[in-house]
Amino acid sequence: MRIRVHQPKAARLVLCSALLAITAAPAAECRTFRLRRLVVVGDSVLAGFGSGGFVGNGHPGQVDSAPAFIARRARVKLPQPLVDQPGVPPQLAIVDGNRNGRLDRGEVRRAHGGLGFRSDPGRRGRNLAVPGEDTASVFEKIAPEDIAGQLVTGDVQGRDVLKFLILGLPLRAGGVSQVSRARELRPSFLVVWLGNNDVLEMATSTNPGTLTVTPAEFGSRFHALLDALADTQAGMAVANLPDPTGIAALRPAVGDVTSCRTPA
C-alpha cells in the first residue's frame, strides 16, 4: 500500500475548486440545495487517508478530509464509511522510545496493532474515495467473493480490503466500483479528484521511466471517467494532477526535520 503525506496546498486546491463551482448558484439556499446529495470520487486525498493510515478520527482522520469540511461549511450531510480505531492500517506515529527528544531511526512506526473495521457497516457512504485508486482502477469492481478468495489463498491485497470496506458495505450481490456506486447514488453534486496515483511512483522515485501511463492514455481515461459521471446530470468540481514537486519526497529535509540521528 502506498503511503504519502498530504500537503495543505493540495487540500486547498480541491476546496477552492468545489467552492467556486458551488458559489455559482445565486443564493445560499440554492447552494445548500445543490449539495444536498454530495458524492465524492477520488483517492486518498479526498478519502481522508493520513499519516500512513485510514481511520475515522485520527491525525488526521476521515472526519478531517476536504469533502467533510465542505459538507460542514455547507451544512449538509455527507455520510462517510468511517473506520474504527486503530484503523486500516493503523496510522504512523513518532514514538520517542528512549525519550531523548530527538527523532531516531525506527521511531516512526505504527503505534497500535490489529485492525479496525467499519464503524457502521450497514450505512451506505457517499464519500466513495478509495486510497490508492487511479484513473484505471476507479472503474474496477470489487465483490465479496474477491476478498473471500484472497483470504483463502492467503494473498490479501491491502488496497482491495480498503476498497471493499468503503464500497462493498453494506453487503450486496455483485461487484461495485466508485463509478457504478456514484451513478447509483443519484448525486446532486460531485467532487472528483483522481490522477495522483497515476504519477506517484514516477514522482517519488524521480524516474520518468517508471511512468506506466502516457499523457494520451491518461487523458482518455479521465475523459471516460467524466463521461460516465456526466450521465448523472450532476454538477462537478474536478481536479486531476497536482504539482508533484510539492510532495515531501522532492523537498529538502532542512526545515522539515528538527534533528535526526543514526545508531552508533
45-71 pLDDT per residue, tens: 999 999 999 999 999 999 999 999 999
Q: Do the domain assignments include residue 222?
A: yes
Residue 100, number of CB atoms within 10 A of its CB = 11
pLDDT over threshold 80, residue 239: yes
Write out the residue range of the structural domain in which residue 177 sits: 38-250
Q: Do the domain assignments include residue 187?
A: yes
**How confident is the model at residue 1, as a pLDDT?**
43
Q: Do the domain assignments include residue 185?
A: yes
Q: Do the domain assignments include residue 181?
A: yes
207/107 Cα distance (integer angstroms) = 29
Q: Do the domain assignments include residue 263?
A: no
**Residue for grid cell 479521465:** 222
Residue 149's identity, in one-letter code, is: G
**Contact between 30 and 15 (Cβ < 8 Å):** no
> Residue 3 is placed in which grid cell?
503511503
pLDDT tens digit sequence for 124-162: 999 999 999 999 999 999 999 999 999 999 999 989 999
Q: Do the domain assignments include residue 206?
A: yes
Cα distances from 147 to residues 104, 130, 162, 218, 234, in angstroms, run 38, 16, 10, 28, 32
Q: Do the domain assignments include residue 21?
A: no
**Judging by DSSP bridges, how do beta strands 189-193 and 38-42 pair with one another?**
parallel
**Residue for grid cell 465479496:** 144
Q: What whole-number percentage of the chain has pLDDT above 90? A: 61
**How confident is the model at residue 5, as a pLDDT?**
44
**Averaged pLDDT score across all residues of the chain:** 86
What pairs with residue 41 in β-bridges?
192
pLDDT over threshold 70, residue 263: no
**How confident is the model at residue 207, as a pLDDT?**
74
Provide the whole-model pTM: 0.83
**Residue for grid cell 475515522:** 56
The number of domains in the chain is 1
CA 179 and chain centroid, separation: 15
Residue 106's identity, in one-letter code, is: G
**Contact between 189 and 235 (Cβ < 8 Å):** yes
Q: Do the domain assignments include residue 197?
A: yes
184/162 Cα distance (integer angstroms) = 20
pLDDT over threshold 50, residue 2: no
Question: 14-18, 24-28, 229-233: which range is least confident on average?
Answer: 24-28
